[in-house]
Structure 1
C-alpha cells in the first residue's frame, strides 16, 4: 500500500485530506475572483464532514460579519465556526501518553487553533461586556498555547514531513506570526501584563513567519499575505507606529493583482497603497474599479466609499 493510500486510525485515507485541501483552494480561488456565492456553495455542501471545508466556509462568513457588523451575520458566523471547531475536535489526537501524531491529527490541531482564534474575535465583536471579554480571552489563550506547541512539533527532530506538510507548516506560520505581530504592537503596560500570564510577542519574528507563509503556494498563504497587507497599509497608521512599508505592500500585492486583476480585495488594497503614496487620482480610479468589479458583496463598496470620503 502506498503512503498516499495509507489508512489512518480514524478510517480516513491521507488522500482524503489532500483532496479536501485541493477543493478548498479551488473554492478560495472562486472567492478571490469575486464568485462569492459559488465559493460558499462549494464549501457548504461538505462543511459537515470535512474540517477544512468547515473552517473555510466559516472564515468567509466571518469576513462578511466583520465587514457588516450586522448582529445576524455575527451570530451565523459564530455558530458556523463553533460547528467547525467541534468537527476539528473530533479529529484531534485523543489524550494518550504517545507524543506522535498522524498527519490528519496535526491538521486537526492547527484548524482547531484557527477556529478558536476566529471565535474569540467574534466574541469580542458580538458583546462588549466583561463575560464576553473573559470568554474571548480564554479562547485566545488556548489558541496561543496550541500554536506554540505545534511550532515546537515542527522544530522537533522526531517530526516527519507528511504529504501535506506545506499546508500544515503554513497554518502554524500564520498563527505564530499573527500572535507575535499583534502582541508586539500592544501598549507597553498591556504587553507586560500579557507577558506575566504567559504571552510573548516579537514583531520581527512575527513578520518573518508571515512573510515565509505568504511566499509559499499553500492553503493559508493568502491569509498570511492579507495580514501583512493590513499591517503595512492600515495597522501601522492606526496605531501611529509609522512602521508600515509601502514598497513591501506593493511587492506582496503584485502577484495577486496579476492573477486576479478584477479581484475586489486586491483592487481595494491597490487603491489604499496609492492613497498612502499621495497618488489620489490613481487611488480614486482603483476604488471605483473595485466597486464596479462585483455586485454580490456591497460591503466592499462601503469600504471603498469610506476611503473616498
Structure 2
C-alpha cells in the first residue's frame, strides 16, 4: 500500500466499505457495521458512513439472510474491511474481485479482514511479508496456501502497518472498536463496547483461544476432572493426584487422557493456570498474589511460564492489558 490515500479530518465522515460475497458470514458484516453505527449515535455526529459492497446487487449470507449491496466502486474511502465465511474460496477465484482489492489498497488508508476474509487479502498479495491472523480452524489451510504471509495463530487481531486482520467472527467487533479508538479516542470505543454489552474490549494481542472452551470439545469423560482442576489450581496437581481424582491407575490415566484430549495432563494444568493468571493480572491482582492463587509456587516460576508461552513477563502483560 502507498501513501496515496485520502486524509479525513476528525470532524469529517469516514467511509467504511465492507466487502461481501455469496456465502459470507453475516456476523463478519453486521458486527463491525454496528460498531460504526453506534459511533455515530454516541459520538454525536456522522463520524462514519458504512457501505456494503459486492459484485452482486444482493448477497445471501451463510445463515440464509440476504443483504442488499452497492456495486464495487472507486469512490473516496477511508477503510475497506473484507468479511469472511464459507464462500471465501469461491470469492478468491474471482479475478475482478481480486483486482478491485489490489487497486483499492492503493487508494484507502486502511485495509482489513475479519475471520477468513484474510484469504482474499492474501490472494490479492496484500499480506505478503506481513503478520496476519485468521480463524484458528483455517490456519493450517491458510499457511499452506500463502507461505509468504507471516501467519500468527493466536491473536484476536493484528495490525501490520496499514493492514489489519482479525480472527473468527466476533473478533471483527474487537477490530472495529480498535479502529474507532484510533480515529476518535478510547472513551468513544469503550462507550460503544458498553452499548454492545461487550464485557471487555479486548486488546488485539490477547489470545483468541479459551482453554476451558477448547476442553469442552474434548471427550466428556474428563469434564468433571477439568472443572475440579480449574477450582483447585492452588493445589499441587501432580499426575498421581489427577489419576486418583479420575478414578484410574496412573498408567491408564496418562495414556487415555492423551488419547482423548491430545495433550498431557500436565500441559492442561499449565494452560489452565496460565489462563487464570492472565485474568487475575488483567483485573489488577498483584503478581505475587496471582502466582500464589494459581499454584505456581513463586513469581519466578510464573514468569518463566508467561515468557515461554506468551513471550512477555507477567508485569508486562498486566501493564498492557489491565482493565
User: With structure 2 as the length reference, what TM-score do the two structures score?
Assistant: 0.29
Higher helix share: 1
User: With structure 1 as the length reference, what TM-score do the two structures score?
Assistant: 0.29
Higher strand share: 2
Larger Rg: 2
